[in-house]
Amino acid sequence: MQKRSTFGSKFGAIAAAAGSAIGLGNIWRFPYVTGENGGAAFIIIYLICTIAIGLPLLLTEFSIGRFTNRNVFGAFKVLKPRSKWSLIGVLGIATAFVILSFYSVVAGWTMNFLAESVINNFAGKNSSQIQEGFGGFVASGWRPIIWSIMFIAMTAYIIISGVEKGIERYNKILMPVLLVILLILVVNSAFLSGFKDGINFLFSPDFSKINGKVVLEALGQAFFSLSLGMGTMITYGSYIRSNDNMISTAGSVALTDTIIALLAGVAIFPAVFSFGINPTSGPDLVFITLPNIFLQMPGSYFLSVLFFTLLLIAALTSSVSIMEVLAAYCTEELKMSRRRAGVLIAGVIMVISSMCCISQMPESSIRIAGMNLFDLFDTLSANYMMIFGAFLTTLFAGWFWTKSKLRGEFTSGGKYGVKIFPVYYFIVKFVSPVMISLIFLSQIGLLGF
């Protein structure tokens, strides 16, 4: 049998998993969800969720992946042959299709905005022109389709290049670039008049704002941001070398992911406050509000080019990790070559994401449950499929997998983190299943908060 690929170094593994975690979720979703949920108090709950539930689940997914050395479907087949647990794999694969289809649409918008920034197309426009520009772009249907097809082709190119020569290599280059760009934007924001207000909004909590819904939103954001509940981290875990310290790898990933989200907040909110824009403006924050704000700032040309480059890098390294869930399945279970798998998956995603773009045109009649396909896929994946996947995964690890095997993998054969294993195991067995079922029940409306 051919030797299975692994990441070549621990830094490579961290860069790849952090590249997956750091995505549109940090730079597009985190700021607007924070804005909608009252700022600092939400952030505190989000941090608690990340440390207490997200990080343990990340370790569980890494353990399952590295123990089985398989893709998400194969992993559960190895752990419990001929049982229904492989359905977690099927769910993960379905979720990957769903997320990738709408994620590449937003990534396509990002590419379009980057191109417009580069040719200085925003210059001289007022805010209603920017808003109309964005509306007209989405309404055209064909323009977002072309950009998202290009984005999917880029993603597939990296996948076809391989685990070490593609995924690891590009992440090792792109993640440091992302950090440098973000730091430039943060420094810029420190000179804005709204810096103090922005920082206060992010870091001085008003605890009266915390309620059940805020807690649930925070947990959902923590899962989405750490790429949990759909097999991405199982797949990447399977490429971590068996003697690497998995705990510090996972810890570094969770820490970088959180720091980047906070820095994105620091880069964005002072600008929002400096120009008197409402921080609760929602998903449009990045695509309509920011170009607007940039226009009013000195150096706007460079700021918008840098910002959309940042967003594109974040989107690309995450979508690579989603496509790898599918590619690993096709190569290992269906015995396809990587090239054939990449081409096939990209083709399917191109068709579905084009349908998402078409369904966003105002005259489109594609509607399911009152939503266009784009909104449906967004809601379906983040609010239902990933949470359900996360619940089944933690349930499996806590109650249906042999404790000694989980401990062996978690501690890399007794080498690291032996003392913290009991705490971790308690969370996996009791805390996580209870907390996740609470959010899930509230999402499907069985529990009112």
Residue 110 as a binder of ligand PHE (CB under 6 A): the answer is: no
Q: How many residues line the site for ligand PHE (CB under 6 A)?
A: 15
Q: Which of 5, 7, 18, 25 binds ligand PHE (CB under 6 A)?
A: 25
Residue 227 as a binder of ligand PHE (CB under 6 A): the answer is: yes
Give the burial string for 105-132 (b: 16+ CB within 10 Å, else e): bbbbbbbbbbebbeeebbeeeebeebbe
Q: Which is nearer to ligand PHE, 37 or 412 (CB)?
A: 37
Q: How many residues does the chain have?
A: 449
Query: Which phi and psi angles does 125 have, rounded to 5°?
Result: -90, 150
Residue 232 as a binder of ligand PHE (CB under 6 A): the answer is: yes
Contact segment (CB under 6 A) with ligand PHE among 63-71, 225-233, 265-273, 431-439 equals: 225-233
Phi-psi region for residue 31, left (φ > 0), alpha (ψ -120 to 50) or beta?
A: alpha
d(CA 42, CA 31): 11
CB of 50 to ligand PHE, least distance (A): 12
CB of 322 to ligand PHE, least distance (A): 5
Contact segment (CB under 6 A) with ligand PHE among 15-23, 189-197, 204-212, 278-286 equals: 15-23
Contact segment (CB under 6 A) with ligand PHE among 22-30, 108-116, 185-193, 417-425 equals: 22-30
Query: Which phi and psi angles does 371 have, rounded to 5°?
Result: -120, 150
Q: Which of 18, 40, 98, 99 binds ligand PHE (CB under 6 A)?
A: 99
CB of 261 to ligand PHE, least distance (A): 8
Residue 230 as a binder of ligand PHE (CB under 6 A): the answer is: yes
Q: Which element (helix H / strand E) includes 385?
A: none
Under rule CB under 6 A, which residues in 127-156 are in contact with ligand PHE?
none
Q: Which of 19, 23, 92, 433 binds ligand PHE (CB under 6 A)?
A: 23
Q: Please check whether residue 70 is in contact with residue 78, taking contact to mean a CB–CB distance below 8 angstroms.
A: yes
Q: Which element (helix H / strand E) includes 91?
A: helix 86-118
> How many helices (H) and strands (E) are present in the chain, helices listed first?
22, 0
Contact segment (CB under 6 A) with ligand PHE among 21-29, 144-152, 192-200, 394-402 equals: 21-29
DSSP labels for 217-238? Answer: HHHHHHHHHTT-SSSHHHHHHT
CB of 299 to ligand PHE, least distance (A): 27
CB of 26 to ligand PHE, least distance (A): 5
Contact segment (CB under 6 A) with ligand PHE among 51-59, 113-121, 227-235, 303-311 equals: 227-235
Contact segment (CB under 6 A) with ligand PHE among 19-27, 76-84, 164-172, 416-424 equals: 19-27
CB of 25 to ligand PHE, least distance (A): 2
Nearest C-alpha neighbor of 130 from the set 309, 304, 363: 304
Residue 224 as a binder of ligand PHE (CB under 6 A): the answer is: yes
CB of 51 to ligand PHE, least distance (A): 17
CB of 4 to ligand PHE, least distance (A): 21
Q: Which element (helix H / strand E) includes 431?
A: none
Which residues, 6+ apart, have CB-to-CB distance to 371 below 8 Å?
379
- List Cα–Cα distances, 137 to 94, 145, 179, 294, in angstroms: 29, 10, 29, 20
Q: Which of 14, 24, 272, 288 binds ligand PHE (CB under 6 A)?
A: 24
Under rule CB under 6 A, which residues in 153-212 are in contact with ligand PHE?
none
Q: Which is nearer to ligand PHE, 214 or 387 (CB)?
A: 387
Both tokens of 413, joined, read: 């054969």
Both tokens of 213, joined, read: 């819904």
Query: Residue 195 burial (CB < 10 Å; 0-12/13-18/19+)?
Result: middle
Q: Which of 60, 225, 304, 394 binds ligand PHE (CB under 6 A)?
A: 225
Q: Which is nearer to ligand PHE, 99 or 185 (CB)?
A: 99
d(CA 409, CA 412): 5
d(CA 312, CA 318): 10
Contact segment (CB under 6 A) with ligand PHE among 23-31, 156-164, 274-282, 432-440 equals: 23-31
Under rule CB under 6 A, which residues in 303-362 are in contact with ligand PHE?
318, 321-322
Q: Please check whether residue 25 is in contact with residue 225, taking contact to mean a CB–CB distance below 8 angstroms.
A: yes
Q: Which is nearer to ligand PHE, 20 or 50 (CB)?
A: 20
Q: Please check whether residue 245 is in contact with residue 10, taking contact to mean a CB–CB distance below 8 angstroms.
A: yes
Residues of the shown chain interacting with ligand PHE in the complex, contacts defined by CB under 6 A? 20-21, 23-26, 99, 224-225, 227, 230, 232, 318, 321-322
